[in-house]
Amino acid sequence: MFDAELIAAFYRKETPFYYYDLALLGRTLNAAKTAAESHGFHVHYALKANFNGRVLEYIRDTGFGADCVSGNEVKKAIEMGFDPSKIVFAGVGKSDREIDYALRHDIFAFNVESVQELRVIDGLAAKLGKKANVALRINPNVDAQTHHYITTGLDENKFGISYWELGDAIEALRESDYIELIGIHFHIGSQITDLNVFKSLCIKVNEMNNWFDERGFRLQVLNVGGGLGVDYHQPDIKHVPNFQSYFEIFANFLERKPGQEVHFELGRALVSQCGSLISRILYVKNGIKKNFLILDAGMTELMRPALYQAYHKIERLSPIAAVDNEEQVHYDVVGPICESSDCFGKEVLLPRSARGDLISIRTTGAYGEVMASHYNLRDEIRYVYSDEIV
């Protein structure tokens, strides 16, 4: 919740901008760290959720590793001071250049997504005379019960190695001189709020763990990915996810063998609630069927509603406390981009609003700033931190 002093400070800033509540970020990270360490679990932060420099500093200082899905994310993590021995590199389409960079910097492991990729990494590692640690990303065919664009663990998805390819993967591993299989990796999707889904994942992980053990591979790492969702509807009530219940699922249902480590790749759950997109109303268009609030932020600043039809809580900000009898109006809240899909919410009930009022779009710390674009030749997105204005 924004207080009057903070809202007044927002009015003095040029909009649109992302606002990051660093105190909330710190509390969220500490909650995740405490819950993970109580079970001896390892956490890698998924940079694709947010790679803002100040945000990354907080995460690095918490002691988490990094989960990267591009060569530039690997480079960013190293430049920000993340320990290379805690960096994992995933992604279905790693280029030779990206693999070479990661090899030269001795990252912890590659999460390998195809048999062909195994052979490519082996060849590139041979040229450098290095041994590459790999974890096989296995597609477990578990339904994450989330939006189909962010489901990654079904047979129909492009990610991971399918069960029927495991024999070929084993053959490639046995033929490789410069690859060390250290674990198996899973990631079934994002914004998962039904924790029972993770119980189903544990069953699949246990099956695969035993399958490799029976074939003589003693795995060091069980990497179960991430996917823990956040509450987009009640950001002020549930601002820190229930990490304790999440990690307890894996503590109770994973069948770890002696010495095995469990690794996680959390992104959204760590950073979503600390971010808000602050925008100003440019125009109010009242019609017969629709009332529109046209903002100075658009899909170029926040892509999720247009791409995923995602919900974000939208609030009008006022330095003066709202009165109980203030008139409420249903608005379609839209941006200035020349696309009909440039819409943040339809029929949003807000106090009657006017040109110049500020609007806050909540829970945008993940997949907000990182997905911003220059479409329509838009300006670079700005950002403001809580310790700069309060």
256 and 225 part of one domain: yes
Is there a contact between 297 and 361 (Cβ–Cβ < 8 Å)?
yes
Is there a contact between 215 and 171 (Cβ–Cβ < 8 Å)?
no
Give the β-pairing of 358-361 and 275-286. antiparallel
**How many domains does the chain divide into?**
2
Write the pLDDT tens digit of every residue in 270-326.
Answer: 999 999 999 999 999 987 889 999 999 999 999 999 999 999 999 999 877 666 678
Is there a contact between 134 and 182 (Cβ–Cβ < 8 Å)?
yes
Q: Which residue has the higher pLDDT, 325 or 19?
A: 19
266 and 333 part of one domain: no
List the one residue out of 161, 79, 82 whose CA is nearest residue 114.
161
263 and 294 part of one domain: no
251 and 288 part of one domain: no
211 and 184 part of one domain: yes
224 and 347 part of one domain: no
320 and 223 part of one domain: no
Mean pLDDT of all residues in the chain? 93
Say which range, 80-89, 179-188, 272-281, 314-323, has the weakest mean pLDDT: 314-323
pLDDT at position 319 is 77
217 and 135 part of one domain: yes
What average pLDDT does the segment 338-342 reach?
Answer: 96
243 and 296 part of one domain: no
- The DSSP result for 177-197, as a single string, is SSEEEEEEE---BSSB--THH
Query: Does pLDDT of 249 surpass 90?
Result: yes
Q: Which of 215, 235, 270 is the last residue of a domain?
A: 270
Tally the residues of the chain. 390
Angle ∠(164,207,263) on CA atoms, nearest 5 = 105
Q: Which of 253, 270, 287 is the last residue of a domain?
A: 270
Band the pLDDT of 157: cuts 50, 70, 90: low
Instruction: Give the span between the Cα atoms of 383 and 271, in whole angstroms.
Output: 15
Write the pLDDT tens digit of every residue in 228-242.
Answer: 999 999 999 999 999
For residue 378, what is the domain's CATH number? 2.40.37.10
Q: Which residues constitute the domain of residue 168?
A: 22-270
47 and 183 part of one domain: yes
For residue 135, what is the domain's CATH number? 3.20.20.10
314 and 171 part of one domain: no
What's the pTM value of the predicted model, to 2 decimals? Answer: 0.93
Enter the tokens of residue 69: 């899905």
pLDDT at position 287 is 78
Q: Which of 217, 242, 270 is the last residue of a domain?
A: 270
176 and 314 part of one domain: no
